[in-house]
Chains A and B, each alone.
Chain A
């Protein structure tokens, strides 16, 4: 009897708890439902579709299509245009990444060491990040114009005959890379500035006590190792962003001259949305996605390391 009297409120309490938990779960589902539906609709299903489409010969405008297995991928292997496009993307990424990082780091170090005008310098170097790239690319086109562009006029002043920057196949990728570096260095600078502020001052004092007298010694012994995680992170972000280059190419060169500036996203755009060869373009997209996955995987690894450092 006494036992029952004790257990009765206990079970109702447990019952109540379970009900509260069930209610909480129900509300949680409700709150998360719109996001879940939209993620399924706009991310999961399209990614599945793009993989499936990559195995078909689907073309927009034709209702019928058939599965062709790995035919699209086989075609990609022998497609000279696609190979050029992959190569150009690599060259672009390999030029933009190191320079935008070196300039970003250099400017960050200079600004960090300076007490005056810091905000001004930071603003100017960051301005390109906040500007409309299509518009600024147009300005660069004017600046790099072979005859009336200021760049070649300055070169002519020193007696150098400037090249036809965006118009010749030898200089088009370097020119686009130049714009890419100009556009992204400020972003890297801000990331490095954040990394620099996080370095404890005492480390510099300690290094000095240990005999690191020159600025270069301090950089080598303290700054560079402490910036390690930031640097790795900036490298991965820069590579990912430069693999996604599209705006400048579409605005300025349309892949030309003579395919010399075809890059991955531009080729996908061209095949899929201009020639409407959706199946073939989907196979290209899968390759693009695979490259991103590898890079992002690296980024997660880097982020993991960053956590351990701090």
Chain B
């Protein structure tokens, strides 16, 4: 509790934390370092972190020519945006109705949400795949987005948030002659902004990183998301050209990591608040 003097205990603490930082940051350091090394340097088994011949340009160019990086990133952005849009659009009215309106299915809705929380995409993937195959909608944005258009977790989160909003707020809006739809849009949503932000971050991180479902429904590069694109890239490289591979991982990791570094507090809040879902 003597936080300002340099006691031995504090030095030890600092040493431990710094040692951990080195280990946790090592993959990032090696990723950036190796992305700038030429093939011969990588195989020369030297531990030097700074590339002797600056090969960033060559490696990044290779990454861009083998797989269409802009298309991958764009696909990732489109899929995440569509998923988030539908999740919020569907979950907010439902959560509002369940939390603030009297109707008979409110309790059943709660039970449904709790049950839904148990079921990950891995459990529903087989029948959904068969159905999408029958409908010939595999390899499309629809196939990538549709199963996630409903997030029971979003309903669960918003429900708890809406319950805490005072009823008077809604009564006042009704007396002003607002319709229920505009109450949701103009009273509830602005007040629920923290919950919406937290959920957005959680949702985008989850779906940007998801490999399982895209791997199942997408078989060509046109609709590949970043993780899937990286798999294609690895296959094309036979996993040997580490310089180009690290350049590709760098490009694909960067958007989310930058977003995280810019809005860390929100990210950590969002992922932990919502991470409780697991």
List the interface of chain A (C-beta within 8 A of B). Answer: 21, 24-25, 27-29, 31-32, 34-36, 38-39, 42-43, 45-47, 49-50, 53, 60, 103, 106-107, 110-111, 113-115, 117, 119, 121-136, 138-143, 145, 147-148, 150, 153-154, 157, 182, 185-187, 190-191, 194, 215, 233, 236-237, 240-241, 244, 246-247, 250-251, 265, 268-269, 272-273, 278, 281-282, 285, 288-289, 292-293, 296, 299
Complex interface: chain A residues within 8 A of B97 (CB): 27-29, 31-32
**Does B93 contact A147, Cβ atoms closer than 8 Å?**
no
Which secondary structure characterizes the binding site on chain A?
A: helix
* Chain B interfacial residues counted at CB < 8 A: 96
List the interface of chain B (C-beta within 8 A of A). Answer: 3-4, 9-10, 13-14, 16-17, 20-21, 23-28, 30-31, 34, 42-43, 45, 47, 89-91, 93-94, 96-98, 101-106, 109, 112, 115-120, 122-130, 133, 146-147, 149-150, 152, 155, 180, 184, 205, 208-209, 211-212, 215-216, 226-227, 230-231, 234, 239, 242, 245-246, 248-249, 252-253, 256-257, 259-261, 264, 267-268, 271-272, 275-276, 278
**Does B155 contact A35, Cβ atoms closer than 8 Å?**
yes
Q: List 22 A-B contacts (CB under 8 A).
A: A28-B103, A31-B97, A32-B103, A32-B105, A34-B90, A35-B91, A35-B93, A39-B112, A46-B124, A106-B16, A130-B259, A131-B257, A132-B230, A133-B227, A135-B249, A135-B252, A139-B246, A150-B47, A154-B47, A182-B27, A191-B272, A247-B212
**Does A32 contact B93, Cβ atoms closer than 8 Å?**
yes
In the bound assembly, the distance between CA atoms of A27 and B181 in angstroms comes to 9
Query: Known contacts A31-B184, A142-B242, A282-B126: does B45 contact A148 (CB below 8 Å)?
Result: yes
Complex interface: chain B residues within 8 A of A140 (CB): 27
- Nearest residue, chain B, Cβ from A25: B103
In the bound assembly, the distance between CA atoms of A28 and B234 in angstroms comes to 50
- From B13, B24, B31, contact of A124 by CB (8 A): B24
- Nearest residue, chain B, Cβ from A114: B13
**Does A24 contact B119, Cβ atoms closer than 8 Å?**
no
